[in-house]
């Protein structure tokens, strides 16, 4: 069919598309410092004016005795006079999480709540992906522990930040997960490697031979007393001056070189 198409003369204007940036923070082992890095990263991003920052807790294998970020930072105190919206409850009940926010300290907190744990019946991978892709925010910092489908959720991230505790037992236990994330990197996924709790007791040669990483960032070992003090005062760890002084340079360098 010979048809004639004549376009009307119109001025073409560039269309600026705003897309979410999804940052998945995960770790080689339990206790590596994933939540510390993720919360601190969200805090530093919120101070930089890069966009609306959301901290999303991603976990599909909640147990009744699991410590909660909600409790660690004291959101029952922070939201004493206002409602804290459970995004997990919204997703499980078939609702929408778009536009539903818990703003505090310039961050939207999408957390597992104590009520979620009490009534926990599980969340499917499809429901979790809906949550990841529909939660409000421009920059979504996802705290992804070693939960049941962690690898699947990491595939949905724009960038992975992988946190390592360099104690040998933790590295040995997490080696299969390390290999999987390396495979993701080989296939084109951007991965930022962080060795947390860096200290003089580490045999650096053995660590390097085991991890075989070309480049990585270091956060020094920080005395536990500062983390205890943060929780007893309902603060984010990064709000404590000793923790902030130890981690700020590394986090700001990652944001400048790897994220923005």
| Domain range summary for the chain, segments of one domain joined by + | 21-259
- The residue written with tokens 């409790």 in the block is 71
pLDDT at position 10: 61
Give tens-digit pLDDT for 28-61. 998 999 999 999 999 999 998 778 999 999 998 8
Q: What confidence score (pLDDT) does residue 49 get?
A: 76
pTM > 0.85: yes or no: yes
Q: With beta carbons less than 8 A apart as the criterion, state whether 131 and 56 touch.
A: yes
Q: What is the pLDDT of residues 92-137, one digit of tens each?
A: 999 999 999 999 999 999 999 999 999 988 889 999 999 999 999 9
The CATH topology of domain 21-259 is Rossmann fold (3.40.50)
């Amino acid at each position: 069919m010979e048809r004639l198409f004549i376009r009307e003369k119109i001025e073409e204007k560039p269309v600026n598309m705003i897309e979410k940036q999804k940052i998945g923070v995960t770790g080689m082992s339990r206790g590596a410092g994933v939540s510390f890095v993720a919360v601190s990263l969200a805090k530093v991003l919120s101070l930089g004016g890069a966009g609306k920052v959301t901290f999303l807790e991603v976990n599909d294998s909640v147990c009744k005795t699991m410590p909660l970020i909600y409790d660690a930072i004291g959101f029952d105190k922070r939201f004493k006079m206002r409602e804290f919206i459970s995004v997990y409850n919204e997703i499980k009940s078939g609702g929408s999480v778009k536009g539903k926010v818990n703003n505090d300290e310039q961050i939207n907190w999408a957390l597992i709540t104590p009520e979620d744990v009490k009534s926990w019946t599980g969340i499917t991978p499809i429901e979790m992906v809906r949550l990841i892709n529909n939660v409000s925010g421009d920059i979504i910092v996802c705290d992804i522990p070693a939960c049941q489908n962690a690898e699947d959720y990491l595939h949905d991230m724009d960038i992975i930040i992988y946190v390592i505790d360099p104690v040998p037992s933790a590295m040995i236990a997490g080696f299969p997960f390390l290999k999987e994330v390396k495979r993701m990197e080989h296939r084109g996924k951007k991965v930022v490697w962080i060795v947390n709790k860096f200290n003089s007791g580490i045999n650096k040669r053995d660590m390097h031979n085991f991890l075989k990483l070309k480049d990585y960032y270091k956060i020094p070992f920080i005395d536990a007393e500062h983390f205890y003090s943060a929780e007893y005062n309902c603060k984010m760890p990064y709000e404590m001056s000793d923790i902030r002084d130890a981690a700020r340079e590394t986090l700001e360098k990652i944001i400048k070189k790897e994220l923005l």
